[in-house]
Amino acid sequence: HATKRTMADHLRKYESIFTLTSPRMRMIVDAFKDTLELGLEKPKQVVPMIPTFVFGWPTGEETGDFLAVDLGGTNLRVCLVTLQGNGKFEITQSKYRLTEEQKQEEGQKLFDFCAECLKTFIETNLGEGTVKDGEKLPLGFTFSYPCSQERIDHGELIRWTKGFGAANTEGRDVAAMFRESLKRHNVPAELTALINDTTGTLIASSYVNPRTRIAVIFGTGCNAAYMERVGEIHKIKNLGIDDDAQMAINCEWGAFDSFEHEHLPRTKYDQIIDETSNKPGEQAFEKLISGRYLGEILRLVICELIDEGVLFLGQNTYKIEIPYALDTAFLSLMEMDPTEELLMIIGIFTHFFALETTLAERQFFRALAKLVGRRAARLSACGIAAIVSKMGYLETGCSVGADGSLYNKYPGFADRVHEGLQDVFGEKGRNIVTYHAEDGSGVGSAIIAAMTKIRK
Ligand code: ADP
């Protein structure tokens, strides 16, 4: 019983540092809203509020065959999407694993790999005659890193995120680089739209649910998109686009509170993650929320307690001391464990880390996972609330299409976001509802490629 009491004492300490109160959330929402507005007003802001040159919502009448390549974070995905009109579609896809080395090598080589995979995909999946000799299929390229765009088929990489660092790519037009690789490998595809997965998710979701106003991704990274009136995007006034036109904005909100760290409650574990990341100071909001980091936050707490002699005394702990050894998927499993003895958690620690645990420790780990997961969901709610309040969607209510493993697989994540929205807005917060979005990087990218074709 001595251990149990100790673990409970420790838990209280972590409860106090990982808990976000409602007043604190409202302060974050206010600062977030100002940041979004600043990003629309001036170029080169921390949260860049990127104009995507995707104009307005789809009609549902878009048709045709489209290729889609998605360079996401963990995988490379290649799809063939057949839009049938009336909001219907068919999709065939393949996934290719990306290695850590590929994420860091020469940028052109990374795009060569994408082109090779696309070529293989076309050869294996497209029947004879789908692409006629000398013809090319339109290709939507989902490239989910912040790019500054002047038109839909072009985009300069502002900076890598999510652990990517391929050389000679930042500052360059990634659409042109990919086109070069497609040419080199003789791939019968023409890159017509460069999009962000968040924008794709926004468009694909509105295709099936017209109440959708916002899309959010909770995967390796965290980001959001929404539709804005061009007149509000002051920084592109010079382009002479009709003020009343609508354009999707890729917020790149993962960067909120970067560098100055004025608004978000960061613990020392968050600071360690930041300092040891390949991009210190950057993506401050994302580092508290996304799948890439949540497991690591919990692992750092465990390591601290190992150092203090509280956990695993006398056991060899080297496996859990490896950075990023604890995937966020383990947090999901810990929270999901249905057994009283927490057998799932026993399994995780014995199989993956060769560690024995007591019941009190397992209860502690689960409670800790809950704190970290809950904080992430509540911070996400702050971001959504900022867009809702900026756009005045609270009264009428709106749907928020959400995607990514964290949203789809982490138990209770959506409920915690909804709870957070009610803590910010009170009862009216119920008007804002998230739901599992349509596939943005496949279907969304195809719809955008089709919308572009119609527009031309
Ligand atoms: P993408 O790389 O395109 O963002 P995902 O949406 O699948 O892909 O996100 C991957 C991230 O989700 C990884 O950081 C991983 O740790 C996390 N993840 C994977 N499975 C789960 C799960 N079951 N529960 C919570 N997080 C998960």
pLDDT over threshold 70, residue 265: yes
| Closest atom of ligand 1 to CA, residue 405 | 6
Q: What is the largest CA-CA distance in the chain?
A: 76
The domain that contains 95 carries what CATH number?
3.30.420.40
pLDDT over threshold 80, residue 5: no
At 136, list the tokens. Answer: 């090319």
Does residue 14 belong to any structural domain of this protein?
no
CA of 150 to the centre of ligand 1 (A): 31
Does residue 266 belong to any structural domain of this protein?
no
pTM (predicted TM-score): 0.91
pLDDT over threshold 50, residue 392: yes
Does residue 148 belong to any structural domain of this protein?
yes
ipTM for the whole complex: 0.98
The whole-angstrom separation of Cα 269 and Cα 273 is: 6
CA of 62 to the centre of ligand 1 (A): 31
The per-residue pLDDT for 6 is 81
Contact 137, 129 (CB under 8 A): no
Q: Does ligand 1 lie within 6 Å of residue 409's CB atom?
A: yes
Q: Does ligand 1 lie within 6 Å of residue 200's CB atom?
A: no
Does residue 82 belong to any structural domain of this protein?
yes
Which residue is associated with the tokens 């958690």?
Answer: 345
CA of 377 to the centre of ligand 1 (A): 15
| Closest atom of ligand 1 to CA, residue 73 | 2
440 secondary structure, DSSP code:
I
At 152, list the tokens. Answer: 């839909």
Q: Which of 273, 374, 406, 416 to mutate for ligand 1's pocket (most ligand atoms within 8 Å of CB)?
A: 406
> So which residues are the catalytic ones?
144, 159, 197
pLDDT digits (tens, 9 = 90+) for 129-186: 777 778 899 999 999 888 988 899 999 999 998 889 999 999 999 999 999 999 999 9
Alpha helices in 236-290 (DSSP H): 268-276, 284-289
pLDDT over threshold 50, residue 379: yes
Alpha helices in 392-444 (DSSP H): 405-409, 413-425
pLDDT over threshold 50, residue 456: no
Domain extent, residue 107, equals 56-208+439-450
Cα angle value 45/380/325 (rounded, 5°): 100
Does residue 28 belong to any structural domain of this protein?
no
Does residue 128 belong to any structural domain of this protein?
yes
Q: Does ligand 1 lie within 6 Å of residue 74's CB atom?
A: yes
* % of the chain surpassing 90 pLDDT: 85
Structural domains counted in the chain: 1
Q: Which residues contact 365 (CB under 8 A, 6 or more apart)?
A: 298, 302, 334, 345, 357
Does residue 138 belong to any structural domain of this protein?
yes
| Closest atom of ligand 1 to CA, residue 327 | 16
Q: Does ligand 1 lie within 6 Å of residue 161's CB atom?
A: no
Q: Which residues contact 448 (CB under 8 A, 6 or more apart)?
A: 54, 140, 152, 193, 195, 199, 200, 203
323's torsion region: left (phi>0), alpha (psi -120 to 50) or beta?
Answer: beta
Does residue 104 belong to any structural domain of this protein?
yes
Which residue is associated with the tokens 């080169």?
Answer: 44
The whole-angstrom separation of Cα 440 and Cα 32 is: 25
CA-nearest residue, atom 9 of ligand 1 = 219
Residue 194: enclosing H or E segment and its boundaries? Answer: strand 189-195
Q: Does ligand 1 lie within 6 Å of residue 199's CB atom?
A: no
CA-nearest residue, atom 17 of ligand 1 = 291
Cα angle value 288/289/292 (rounded, 5°): 95
Amino acid identity at 389 = S
